[in-house]
Amino acid sequence: MLSKFNSMPLTTFRQAVKAGEFLVTAEVMPPKGCDTTHMLEMAATLKGRVHAVNVTDGSRAVLRMSPLAASVILLQHGVEPICQFACRDRNRIGLQGDLMGAYALGIRNILALTGDPIKAGDHPDAKAVFDVESVRLLRLISKMNQGSDYNDKPLTDGTTDLFAGAAVDPQCASWSGLKSRFEKKLAAGAQFFQSQLITDFDRLDKFMNEVAAGCGKPILAGIFLLKSAKNARFINRAVPGVNIPEHIIERLEKAADPLAEGMKIAAEQVRLAKDICHGVHIYAVKREDLIAPILDLAGIPPVHKKVDQFIPKNTVKPELSIATEAIGK
């Protein structure tokens, strides 16, 4: 049975992928509490500058508002979300139920993640689930899009049409492991890839030429706004697999205005990525308002979309008008 929603227009993000545009996405964190004011203010600065906004799911295993709820709130305020789904906190029943709910509420883009380990977060004694991981979550979404559940039983009340993506780490120490994992995610149905923070653009270029070549799916390079030398050193210590080069740290340390220098560095990296891959995913934790200026510095033009273009007909109508995780593998 086909869902009545399957005939609805593509989202702006999916349209941009289909059209082969240079893709720009950014990330916002839901609040730790019920006040979404700051999230909405930050997201509002991204309107017209990005194709979609990622909403994190318990980034670093730290408690925050449900990404599903936060995504619906963003959608109601004219911001197209990519709702992250991590496998850490829900089993396959919960994941499927939330995916159906997300689709019914108008969410169309999903980023399938395994999730950060519990011990890294603010509830280290909580129980992790990990009933499935990101590859099996992608397969689950593909099955639901085809009209069946995880056990190949029919979805009798309508199918989904979710646009699912995955994370990739081109700087992974194991080249064979990177290649194997990427190919498994492709086979499982990933339609786009957003990368971990990139600092080695030669490595990204090698990945694009030796692993991702011919895959037919867009790769977005992760660009992180470094706010200071202290911030860069913290990331080197705290984020596995990331190695911010010393010459970048020295630039930040010597700068009269480290934040402005960090913006210049991010813009330079956006320009590098534009020559190598299909887009960028920008992390600017708590300073999402600086993403548009970074894009200006990089010479990336506005997206030029209608605010309501991507809001599906079955979405709850807005009541008001008014916004990091290092992506898990």
Q: Does some domain include residue 327? A: no
**What integer pLDDT is reported at residue 240 of this predicted model?**
67
Measured at the CA of 43, the angle between CA 309 and CA 22, to 5 degrees, comes to 60
Q: Does some domain include residue 222? A: yes
Question: What is the 8-class DSSP label of residue 244?
Answer: -
Alpha-carbon distance of 157 to 264, in angstroms, equals 51
Q: Does some domain include residue 193? A: yes
Q: Does some domain include residue 325? A: no
Q: Does some domain include residue 310? A: no
Q: Which domain holds residue 205?
A: 12-298
- Helix (H) or strand (E) run with residue 35 in it: none
- Helix (H) or strand (E) run with residue 15 in it: helix 12-19
Domain count, the chain: 1
Q: Quick count: other Cβ atoms within 10 Å of Cβ 328?
A: 26
Q: What is the CATH number of the domain that holds 55?
A: 3.20.20.220
Q: Does some domain include residue 311? A: no
Q: Phi first, then psi: what are they for 232, rounded to 5°?
A: -65, -40
Going residue by residue through the chain (329 aa), what tens digit of pLDDT does each one get? 334 444 344 589 999 999 999 999 999 999 999 999 999 999 999 999 999 999 999 988 999 999 999 999 999 999 999 999 999 999 999 999 999 999 999 999 999 999 989 988 899 999 999 999 999 999 999 999 999 999 999 999 999 999 999 999 999 989 999 999 999 999 999 999 999 999 999 999 999 999 999 999 999 999 999 999 999 999 888 776 788 999 999 999 999 999 999 999 999 999 999 999 999 999 999 899 999 999 999 999 998 654 344 344 344 333 332 233 333 34
Q: Does some domain include residue 122? A: yes
**What integer pLDDT is reported at residue 10 of this predicted model?**
54
SS (H, E, C) 95-164: HHHHHHHHHHCCCCEEEEECCCCHHHCCCCCCCCCCCCCHHHHHHHHHHHHCCECCCCCECCCCCCCCEE
Residues facing residue 167 across a β-bridge: 194
